[in-house]
Amino acid sequence: DTEVTQTPKHLVMGMTNKKSLKCEQHMGHRAMYWYKQKAKKPPELMFVYSYEKLSINESVPSRFSPECPNSSLLNLHLHALQPEDSALYLCASSQIISRWPEAFFGQGTRLTVV
Amino acid sequence: AQTVTQSQPEMSVQEAETVTLSCTYDTSENNYYLFWYKQPPSRQMILVIRQEAYKQQNATENRFSVNFQKAAKSFSLKISDSQLGDTAMYFCAFMNPDRGSTLGRLYFGRGTQLTVWP
């Protein structure tokens, strides 16, 4: 199983809503990532979890709140978002100690904030 | 800081032909990995090929191969016998696996949109 599964695939939310994005992997990877990607741009790193602990926060606004309940799951809680937060949100996972630490990506959640 | 540069925003190639996408990077590290990822309209980032910096031999995966020039900090991707399904955005990416503070972080280039036409 080399899949990273993200749900939902599409999400439309109002600026006062609270929603969550979910990511799951069963490859035994102990590093998980959230990236944000605008159209025709490369992904931008938001958060990195290592062994279920937050290790990197790229100065992301607090309206984005990550959570790693266990080694297979990664959530991104959304609250009071702005229209400029509309983007594709990608989850990824990778080995930490490995000859090949490449990241495997999910299909992403297309988020629209109205 | 690591930077990755892709100087070709768009390229096109006819089916069955060969195309080369360019990538240069800047780093002071000696141990690192380089990757090419493909992102078709379906949005999923798919790993195409990978290269370890200490390996002089260029990586090859079926129709995809790289020309890795460590001294020049160049990492180009050659796609042979191009197929319609190769149409996608291609991102070159750099990773330094050793630094705790940059654990697993991928530094991406701006991407090259490749179109394969019949």
At A100 the pLDDT is 66
Quick one: pLDDT band at residue B100, thresholds 50, 70, 90?
Answer: low
Residue with tokens 């280039």: B109
Say yes or no to pLDDT of B99 above 80.
no
How far does B17 lie from chain A, in Å, by closest CA? 25
DSSP string computed for A47-105: EEEETTEEEEE-S--TTEEEEEEETTEEEEEEES--GGG-EEEEEEEE-SSSS----EE
Q: How far is A106 from chain B (nearest CA, A)?
A: 6
The four Cα atoms A12, A16, A20, A21 give a dihedral, to 10 degrees, of 40
Output the CA torsion sign for A63, B108, A28, A110.
positive
Contact A48 B104 (CB under 8 A): yes
Q: What percent of chain B has pLDDT over 90?
A: 75
Spell out the long-range contacts of B52-58 with Cβ–Cβ below 8 A and sequence spacing 24 or more: B53/B29, B54/B30
- Residues 6 or more apart in contact with residue A86 via CB below 8 angstroms: A111, A112, A113
Which of A33, A92, A107 is nearest residue B42 as measured by Cβ atoms?
A: A107
Q: Does B15 have pLDDT greater than 90?
A: yes
d(CA A72, CA B27): 32
pLDDT tens digits for range A71-114: 999 999 999 999 999 999 999 998 876 666 788 999 999 999 99
Q: Which residue has the tokens 């078709």?
A: B40
What's residue A1's pLDDT?
A: 58
Would you list which residues of chain B are within 8 Å, Cβ to Cβ, of chain A?
Answer: 33, 35, 37, 42-47, 50, 89, 91, 95, 97, 100-106, 108-111, 113
Query: Is A50 in contact with B105 (Cβ distance < 8 A)?
Result: no
What's the mean pLDDT in B99-111?
Answer: 78
pLDDT of residue B101: 52
Nearest to B97 by CA among B64, B49, B54: B54
Q: What is the mean pLDDT of residues B10-35?
A: 94
Q: Does A61 touch chain B (CB under 8 A)?
A: no
Predicted confidence (pLDDT) at residue A57 exceeds the cutoff of 80? yes
* CA–CA distance, A17 with A14 (Å, rounded to integer): 5
Contact A108, A6 (CB under 8 A): yes
From A6's Cα to the closest Cα of chain B, the distance in A is 11
**Look-up: residue for tokens 């309206």?**
A63
Joined together, the tokens standing for residue A73 give 């799951």
Which token pair is B109?
Answer: 């280039």
pLDDT at A2 over 80: no
pLDDT score recorded for residue B41? 87
Tens digits of per-residue pLDDT, B48-83? 999 999 888 899 999 999 999 999 999 999 999 999
- The answer to whether the CB atoms of B33 and A56 lie below 8 A apart is no
Determine, for residues A96 and B43 on separate chains, whether the beta-carbon distance falls below 8 Å: no
Q: Does A38 touch chain B (CB under 8 A)?
A: no
pLDDT of amino acid A102: 84
